[in-house]
Amino acid sequence: MTGITRTSADLDPRRRRILFRAWHRGIREMDLILGTFAETELPTLDEAELDELERIMAEEDNDLVKWITGEKPLPEVFDTALFARIAAYKPDFPYPDHEKPEAL
């Protein structure tokens, strides 16, 4: 089960490809974050935002999770409004107290 709830039939090929990749990441946390973001926001993103989203999605999932949770500092290149919008889709991951990033 992928979690996809929207149909991609009304999306252009580029957006369909991004939606698929957003729900098929290397780790489930990023499936949930990027997949939910893409389902909700993809139809309204302009070409520059799509370019940026593809650059973000090209990064390693483990790095993305650590940047989103605040476990690692966010590189300046990704300190953008779009990354902040993506990070807002972060579910409340259950962390043991000794592993919980301070930013949460």
What is the C-alpha to C-alpha distance for residues 30 and 79, in angstroms, rounded to an integer?
A: 18
Q: Which domain holds residue 72?
A: 13-87
Residue 97 has pLDDT above 90, yes or no: no
Q: Which is more confident, 75 or 93?
A: 75
Q: What is the CATH number of the domain that holds 32?
A: 1.10.150.250
**Does residue 27 sit within a domain?**
yes
| Structural domain includes residue 59 | yes
* Per-residue pLDDT at 90: 86
pLDDT, residue 95, reads 53
- Residue 104 pLDDT greater than 80, yes or no: no
Distance, in Å, from the CA atom of 52 to the CA atom of 47, rounded to the nearest integer, reads 9
Within 8 A by CB and 6+ apart from 89, the residues are 32, 33, 34, 36, 37, 40
- Mean pLDDT of the chain, nearest integer: 86
pLDDT in tens, 25-61: 989 999 999 999 999 999 999 999 999 999 999 999 9
Contacts (Cβ under 8 Å, ≥6 apart) of 73: 67
Domain count of the fold of the chain: 1
